[in-house]
Amino acid sequence: MREEIEITIREAIPSDAESLLNCLEKTALQTGFMTMGEEGSGLTIEEESHHIAEIYESNINCLIVAILGDEIIGMATVHAIDKPKIRHIGELGIVVDKEYWGFKIGTELLREVLKWSDESEVIKRVELKVQQRNERAIHLYKKYGFELEGVMQRGVKDNGEFLPVCMMGKLV
């Protein structure tokens, strides 16, 4: 049994930019599950701060963070494109520092973004892409009502190997 930790889950604010970038850079190297790798985000703290401010003011995007102490250890996003025909579709992304796997942080982040999506006046569908080998994530998404809609063969390339990616969706 893992010890309990006390985390805070809330919407990201511009002053979170440095901690958020640190979390992304760290988690990008922990598994092959993210699309970002050692190349990093390529963003400065100022650029990320501006990006977070835009998300915070948006009614079609959200960024939720999991904080332990003063460090961001996970995040979840719903990102939509502001085009009339597709602005109702939010793309979900979740990442948790591998050191904190098993503490149900991904579950809490997913609950928060789904709650945000349910309360949104715009978002009516949440979709995601997840590597087929990421069985833990697929299990979590299915538990919360996501359905497998297709598999993209050669959907991602990791360490020279092409891997299948599952496309999943949920109506809200």
| pTM recorded for the entire structure | 0.90
Q: Specify the CATH class of 8-124 in words.
A: alpha beta
Each residue's pLDDT tens digit, 10-68: 999 999 999 999 998 888 777 767 665 565 556 788 999 999 999 999 999 999 999 99
Give the model's pLDDT for residue 23: 92
Domain ranges of the chain: 8-124
Runs of H (alpha helix) within the chain: 17-28, 45-57, 105-119, 135-143
Each residue's pLDDT tens digit, 115-126: 999 999 999 999
**Cα→Cα distances 157→13, 92, 162, Å:** 33, 20, 4
pLDDT band at 158 (very low <50, low <70, confident <90, very high): confident
Give the model's pLDDT for residue 32: 67
pLDDT at residue 2 above 70?
no
* Residue 27 falls in which region: left (phi positive, over 0), alpha (psi -120 to 50) or beta: alpha
Residue 31 tokens read as: 């598994």
**Cα→Cα distances 126→8, 23, 89, Å:** 24, 24, 6
